[in-house]
Structure 1
Amino acid sequence: MQTRPADAFQVTQTHGILMRPEHRIVQSSDALGWHSLYASHQFERPYTARFDGRDDHLIIVHLSGPVRVERSLSGEQDQQRIAAGGLFVLPPDRDFGVSLLAPLETVHLYVRRSLIRAAAEELCKGDPDKVEFLPRLGERDPLIEQLARMACGMMADNQSDFFADGVARLLAAQIVRHHSTGLQAELPRITGLSHRQMEAVDDVIQERMEESLSIDDLAEAAGLSPIHFARQFKRTTGKAPHQYLIEKRVARARHLLAGDLSIAEIAFRCGFSHQEHLTRLFGRQQGTTPAAYRRALRL
């Protein structure tokens, strides 16, 4: 099932916290064309405000602390002293008020409602529209914290929508499993992908490497739902789909560097957003730059 919206996720679709003038944005995903996930890393200054509910799920991860935060939600007041790693989680359509009482470094993550519903449909028994999502203030979730830090690295690397979509799906599954009222369904046993399924995935990657691939594309090739595909793919390859795709793109770049195409053209043909993107990821995989690799081939 295709769950990715047509329009990229922008800050104007968020609650407005990030547009307040007292905050200093370090980096955000606005210019990266991400559809399923919005991410922003910032230093927030103390403020008090009320916000209208939005369509999508908000997760705030505190990178510093402890700091005292007050929240009003559905007529109830809550106050917590939140340590680094603590969460502020808000389901869709909930108006709320907040007071931040000291400076704070945070990552804000927004996950599309459609993606979380798709996760509930697959992971929970019964009607997914009846699953209720739980607001959080101060609780810890190591996986969500890890994914927030990963999103920061992805923004710094100008990673494509494919990688953001993978993180968004992991966040959606974690929200459904651990921050909702849903009764967990029995998941299919993790046995890995068949040889035929893996061949179909590799064929899609090779044929469409220049395009902006999605998890949905690879899952469809394997004949599985995106969440089930990610679990089975990791069992087969030992890698997340985005890691595997990077390796395939770098492998094609190595092959093309033996010819006469410019490095900028090679970056395009391998699905990198620009030459610098290729250079950065090629260096991590190979320990050298594409230009140095090409010179070594010609010695």
Structure 2
Amino acid sequence: MQATSNFGVQETHGILDRFQAEFRGSSEGLGWSSAYASVQRERPFDGHFHALSDNLMVLHRGGPVDITYVMEGKSVARHIPRGGVFFLPAGHACNVVLHEALESTHIYLRSDLFGGRDGAPSPIGGLAPMLGDQDAVLEHLAAAIGDTITGGLPASSLFVDPIAQAIANRFVAINFHKPSVEAGKHPNLLSVKQMARIREFVDANLDTDIRLDQLAELCGRSTEYFVRLFKASMREP
């Protein structure tokens, strides 16, 4: 079931204020409930995108640009062409270093859009981030969202929901309609490296009060999502 309340800027990472991006337009005040979008020219920055309960997609409307991502302690440098897509699923955190100015469209998608159908479990926990990959379908759908904003199309709340749903469906298809690149990988569990990082942190801080949010940040996850992953991991043989 899709959300009915308007999706506002206060529910996003606040890129326009935090990184002094040059504002082109946004969906604020347009009555959109399933997505929030903004079009901007981003200046070079080094910033942290904390874990949210919703999902972020970024379409590179310009390029190529060099970007460095840091997720779960791993640094990845990418040279991303025009049309590249960054995707940060719900519950994931990421540090981003943008080395050049970039024209972009940011689209936040309600997690309800990724819910299972006909009683099937939601796949949201298993969605993987995308770090600048290209996908023609996502590019065209995101461009339609951006054009809706910059073109000032009337009554956009009447037709944006199906576009947002199509974007969510495409991410699900990308994640679950291709073979896993790592045999035996369980996307709904903490990785071996994450569990080792937790043990090392606990061993080093036995004389202090250890909080769940500290462990969640250590793994690049929201506290709520971390608790689910940790419980599931502890049940694994």
Q: Separation in 2 of the partners of 1:158 and 1:11? A: 20
Aligned position for 2:47: 49
Match of 2:168?
172
Ranked by relative contact order (alpha carbons within 8 Å, sequence separation 6 or more), the top structure is: 2
Runs of 4+ in 1 over 6 A off after TM superposition: none
Counterpart position of 1:135: 129
Number of corresponding residues: 177
Q: Indicate the residue corresponding to 1:163 in structure 2.
A: 159
CA shift digits 1:50-87 (9 cap, x unpaired): 12111111110001111000111111111100000001
Where does 1:1-299 land on structure 2 (aligned, <5 Å)? Answer: 3-117=1-115, 120-121=116-117, 127-129=121-123, 132-155=126-149, 156-178=152-174, 180-181=175-176
Asked whether the equivalents of residues 32 and 158 of structure 1 are also in contact (C-alpha less than 8 Å), the reply is: no
Higher helix share: 1
Tell me how far apart the structure 2 counterparts of residues 70 and 183 of structure 1 sit (CA, whole Å). 26
Equivalent position of 1:222 in the other structure: none
Scaled by the length of structure 2, the TM-score of the pair is 0.69
Structure 1 residues 182 and 131, CA gap change in structure 2 (3 angstroms): farther
Structure with the bigger percentage of strand: 2
Match of 2:185 in 1: none
- Secondary structure in structure 2 of the residue aligned to 1:60: strand
For 2:51 and 2:3, how far apart are their aligned partners in 1? 19
Structure 1 residues 130 and 82 mapped into 2: Cα distance closer, same or farther (>3 Å)?
Answer: closer
Gaps of 5+ in 1: 185-299
Deviations 1:224-271 (A, max 9, x none): xxxxxxxxxxxxxxxxxxxxxxxxxxxxxxxxxxxxxxxxxxxxxxxx
Instruction: Note the aligned Cα RMSD (angstroms).
Output: 2.1
Greater Cα radius of gyration, structure 1 or 2: 1
Tell me the CA shift for residue 104 of structure 1: 0.4
2:59 touches 2:84 (CA, 8 Å); kept in 1?
yes
Shift of 1:22: 1.9
Identity %: 32
